Chains A and B, each alone.
Chain A
Amino acid sequence: MAMREITLAKAVSEAIAEEMRRDPTVFVMGEDVAEAGHPFKTLAGLVQEFGVERIVDTPISEPGFMGIAVGAAMTGSRPIVDLMFGDFLFLAMDQLCNQAAKTHYMSGGKLKAPLVLHTNLGATRRSAAQHSQSLHALVAHIPGVKVALPSSAYEAKGLLKTAIRDDNPVVIFHDKLMYQDKSQIPEEEYLIPFGVANVVRQGSDITIVATSSMVQVARQAAETLNREGISAEVIDPRTIVPLDEETILASVRKTGRAIIVDEGHQSFGVTAEIASRINEKAFYYLDAPVRRVGAMDVPVPFSPPLEDLTVPTPKVVAEFARLMMKGEPFHVA
Chain B
Amino acid sequence: MSSMIDTKRATEAAWETPNSDEYLRMYRQMARIRAFEDNANQLYLSAKMPGLTHMSSGQEAVAVGVCSALENDDKITSTHRGHGHCLAKGAEIKLMFCELLGKVEGYCRGKGGSMHIADQAHGNLGANAIVGAGAGIATGAAFSAKRLGTKAVAVCFFGDGALGQGLVYEVMNMAALWKLPVIYACENNLYGEYTKVDEMAAGPITARAEAFGIEAHVVDGQDVLAVNRITRQLVDRARRGEGPFFLQLNTYRFHGHHVGDINRDYYRTKEEETFWKTERDPILLFGHWLVAEKIVGLEQLQAIEAEVKVETEEAVAYAQAAPYPPLEEVTMHVFVEKAA
Which chain A residues have a beta carbon within 8 Å of chain B's beta carbons? 25, 27, 53-54, 58-59, 61, 63-79, 94-95, 98-99, 103-112, 114, 143-144, 146, 165-168
Residue from B136, B334, B338 in contact with A95 in the complex, judged by beta carbons closer than 8 Å: B136
Check A64–B170 contact: CB distance below 8 A. Answer: yes
Say whether A70 contacts B140, CB under 8 Å.
Answer: yes
State whether A71 and B106 are in contact (beta carbons under 8 Å apart), knowing that A64-B174, A111-B118, A168-B336 are contacts in the complex: no
B154 contact set on A, CB distance < 8 A: 71
| Complex alpha-carbon distance, A110 and B106, angstroms | 12
* Chain B residues with CB below 8 A from A94, complex form: 130, 133, 167
- Residue of A54, A79, A109 with most chain B CB atoms under a 10 A cut-off: A109
Alpha-carbon distance A77/B180, docked complex (angstroms): 15
Q: Which residue of A lies closest to B129 (CB)?
A: A98
Q: List B contacts of A105 (CB < 8 A).
A: 111, 333-334
Min CB distance B115 to A, Å, is 9
Contacts A59-B174, A63-B166, A77-B143: A168 and B335 contacting too (C-beta < 8 A)?
A: yes
Chain A hits for B142, CB < 8 A = 71
- Are A109 and B332 interface neighbours, CB within 8 A? yes
Cα separation A54 to B147 with both chains bound (whole Å): 8
Chain B interface size, as a band, is 35 or more
Q: Which residues of B contact A146 (CB under 8 A)?
A: 335
Q: Which residues of B contact A68 (CB under 8 A)?
A: 136, 139-140, 143, 171, 174
Tell me if B35 counts as interface (CB < 8 A to partner A). no
Given contacts A63-B170, A71-B125, A144-B334, contact A106 B118 (CB under 8 A): yes
* Distance of A53 Cα from B178 Cα, bound (Å): 10
**Residues of B114-148 contacting chain A, CB below 8 A:** 116, 118-120, 125-126, 128, 130, 133, 135-145, 147-148
Tell me whether B333 and A109 are in contact (CB under 8 A). yes
With beta carbons under 8 angstroms apart, the residue of A107, A112, A165 that contacts B339 is A165
A residues less than 8 Å from B112 (CB atoms): 106-108
CB neighbours of A98 from chain B (8 A): 130, 133
User: How far, in angstroms, from A79 to B148 measured CA to CA in the complex?
Assistant: 12
B234 to chain A, nearest CB (A): 19
Q: Which residues of A contact B133 (CB under 8 A)?
A: 67, 94-95, 98-99
A107 & B126 in contact (Cβ 8 Å cutoff)? yes
Is B139 touching A71 in the complex (CB atoms < 8 A)? yes
**Does B173 reach chain A (CB closer than 8 Å)?**
yes
The answer to whether A72 and B144 have CB atoms under 8 Å apart is yes
User: A72-B147, A107-B120 known; 6 other A-B pairs, CB under 8 Å?
Assistant: A67-B170, A75-B125, A75-B152, A76-B148, A76-B150, A107-B107
Q: Which residues of A contact B106 (CB under 8 A)?
A: 108
